Amino acid sequence: MTGQPAQRKLILYMSMSLDGFAARRDRTMDWLGDAQAYGAHRQRAVAELLGQTGLLVLGARAGAEMAQAWPSSQSPTGELMNATPKVVFSSTLGAVEWSNARVTDRPVEEEVPELKRESGKDIVVFGGASFARSLAAHGLIDEYRINVQPVVLGDGLPLLHGLPEPLPLKLVGSTAWADGPITQTYVPR
């Protein structure tokens, strides 16, 4: 059988408010609450996703913030976050102090397709609204897992605002969590 070898998927896993914002205007996400307070089922789902992840890709801001937060975590999720290889996309950061992390200043449209062609488990994006927009604008996201939080912010940084053209998606899964959020899983049509 001929054809192209299977590529690993790029999965966007992010939270947004009911009105579509990924963060407040000042980039704070205090409305998400404490990740440790997540319901047990949702914590297991995140740990399961991390267990199936071969690489994390992050924008500069998310990469710098997570490099501050995760290295000292001894939680099961923290251990997975710290052990997983990471690529932080930034033209301003020289490096991040985080195990298994490297910084690249290459454009996402050049580097991400190369990363997807490498063998291994899927790639996950956890943060950065502008980084997510850039990946979506270049058609690089294979699966969108959006956690819709039960809060209306009224204003903030929209998750996927300003794409150059409509992005038709197909709903392939939905999970309502006991602690309030709903995870919607979409793939491009």
- The pLDDT of residue 69: 87
Strand-pair partners of 173: 185
Distance separating alpha carbons of residues 56 and 167, to the nearest angstrom: 23
Tell the residue number behind the tokens 């200043």, with chain if given: 105
pLDDT at 105: 94
Closest CA to 85 of 45, 58, 46: 58
Q: Which among 107, 120, 181, 148 is positioned nearest to 14, based on CA atoms?
A: 148
Residue 2: which pLDDT band, with cuts at 50, 70 and 90?
A: low
pTM for this entry = 0.90
Residue 73 binned pLDDT confidence (cut-offs 50, 70, 90): confident
Question: For the residues 143-169, what does the mean pLDDT come to?
Answer: 93
Q: CB under 8 Å, gap of 24 or more: what pairs does 63-72 form?
A: 63/88, 63/89, 63/90, 63/93, 63/96, 63/98, 63/101, 63/103, 63/128, 64/88, 64/93, 64/96, 65/127, 66/98, 66/126, 66/127, 67/96, 67/97, 67/98, 67/101, 70/98, 71/97, 71/98, 71/99
